[in-house]
Amino acid sequence: MSGHSASRRLKTGLFLACVLTASLGLAGCSEIDDMFGSDSGSDISASAAPSPAGGPGAAMVPPTAEAPPTAGGAASAALVATITPVTIESGPDTGTAVNKTIQTLRGQMSGLETKLAANAQRLADLRSAGAQAAGSYQESKARITTRLQVGTTKGNPELVSEWNSAQASLDSLSGNINQLGALGTDVTADSSTAHFVLDQISATFNVSGAVDEDHRQLSLLEDETSQTIVLIDRLLGEISSDVQRQTAYVANERSGLTVLASAIKNGELYGGTPGIAASAASGTIQLSSAGTPLVVVRFDRPNVDYQQALYAALNQALQSRPNANFEVVAVAPTRGNAASVQIAQTTARRHAQEVVRSMTDMGVPASRVNVASSTDPAAAASEVRVFVR
């Protein structure tokens, strides 16, 4: 009996840990009005970005179409077919007190079989709904990336509408995960009940006053209960796998949507060929070396275009070091009188905040970005230097 109880506690604990992981991974994305706020008016030319020797798993890969997180129709039907409730056989009433207990336990198991079939169908329905939501999301994302790839206007309202549709589909997937968690809780309770019945059957074998027919019925019910426990545990495993898979999928796509929002705001798709020099208004992208900034942004003219170069540099840095932190340093020149230096420092800090906003729009968590200030007598204009820490 203690072995059954330990097994039940282990299975319940594993499922609750899975649901907890899901809830932690479902941080909401900011609203579209926040994502497409007023333009800052300042851009950046970049100067740097090493070509890392790291593997292909980039932390900021531009959004591309992916397979839905769950299988649809056929797979859902297959699930229902593989979790077929066990038929609880009836038996004659022998008139003994033991047989009365057997009938009570048999009734409990019959109720569990009905719930097992209903829960298997619930999982199949949730999988189908999840696949449909994922398909809608991928269609919206594909339309956005296609328009951005061929070129479009900044903040195109048609793409904003598509972004809202993609966001709604992801929200639907998040709701699907919550429903999976509720289903898992129900199935966990059924598993506990089934294990309790199995323990009661074992205990009833030792009750005096039974006839041979009673023990035959108990043996049959014990086998049926054991088979039911296997099916319930299989269903619980399927639910746990779906929660983990969909939680990871939604978390990754939330980050991708953040990048897409910034791309829509600027009217161009972030990306490009890493490691290849690109022309910029105040210089070129160069490979950085140890101890040098990853990116140097020189605000030596109005409306500097920087996002593409900044994105490429951050992408390559995160390929090499996925857990990297960044320090954004506002560098001001020291020319002129004290008032001029103070104005230059204020301007440099404002530019640094603009760079930080761009980085967070591109998917870098704000918790991994630190802002500092400095001066440089050799600087001809305000600069923002981004370091990897």
Please give the structure tokens belonging to residue 267: 């009217």
Backbone CA torsion sign across 160, 315, 366, 22: positive
| DSSP line for 13-28 | HHHHHHHHHHHHT-PP
Residues near 330 by beta carbon (within 8 Å), at least 6 away in sequence: 345, 348, 349, 351, 352, 371, 372, 373, 374, 382, 383, 384
CATH number of the domain enclosing 306? 3.30.1330.60
In a domain, 49, yes or no: no
Show which of 266, 296, 312 is a domain's final residue: 266
372's tokens: 């500092």
Residue range(s) defining the domain that contains residue 251: 72-266
Taking the C-alpha atoms of residue 196 and residue 189, their distance in angstroms, rounded to an integer, is 11
Residue 366 lies in a domain: yes
Give residue-wise pLDDT tens across range 305-351.
787 788 888 888 888 888 888 999 999 998 888 878 888 888 888 88
| 244 burial type by CB count under 10 A (0-12 exposed, 13-18 middle, 19+ buried) | middle
Distance CA 87, CA 378 (A): 85
Domain count within the chain? 2
Do 256 and 318 share a domain, yes or no? no
Q: What is the pLDDT of residues 265-318, one digit of tens each?
A: 888 876 533 322 233 333 333 333 346 888 888 888 887 778 778 888 888 888
Q: What is the pLDDT of residues 32-90, one digit of tens each?
A: 444 444 444 344 333 333 333 333 333 444 444 444 444 455 655 566 557 888 899 99
Q: Is 375 part of any domain?
A: yes
Question: Do 261 and 283 fall into the same domain?
Answer: no
Same domain flag for 220 and 360: no
Q: Specify if 125 maps to a domain.
A: yes
Q: Could you please report the per-residue DSSP string of 111-160?
A: HHHHHHHHHHHHHHHHHHHHHHHHHHHHHHHHHHHHHHHH---TT-HHHH
Q: Are residues 204 and 144 in the same domain?
A: yes
First to last CA, the chain: 55
212 lies in the same domain as 133: yes
- Measured over the CA atoms of residue 279, residue 284, residue 289 and residue 295, the dihedral's sign is negative
Residue 112 falls inside a structural domain: yes
pLDDT of residue 78: 62
Six-digit token string for 123: 């999982």
Of the residues 211, 244, 266, the one at which a domain ends: 266
Whether 296 and 380 map to the same domain: the answer is: yes
Out of 234, 266, 298, a domain closes at 266
Task: Render pLDDT for 209-262 as a digit per residue (tens, 0 to 9).
Answer: 999 999 999 999 999 999 999 999 999 999 998 998 998 888 888 878 888 888
| 266's tokens | 């600027």
Residue 135 within a domain: yes
Inside any domain, residue 51: no
How many C-beta neighbours within 10 Å does residue 340 have?
A: 13
Burial of 194 per CB tally in 10 Å (0-12, 13-18, 19+): buried
**pLDDT tens profile 345-389:** 888 888 898 888 888 877 788 888 988 888 888 888 889 999 988
Question: Are residues 129 and 77 both part of a single domain?
Answer: yes
Do residues 198 and 326 both lie within one domain?
no
Residue (of 219, 230, 228) closest to 91 by Cα position: 219
Q: Are residues 245 and 290 in the same domain?
A: no
CA–CA gap between residue 153 and residue 357 (Å, rounded): 21
CA-to-CA distance for 298 and 95, rounded, in angstroms? 94
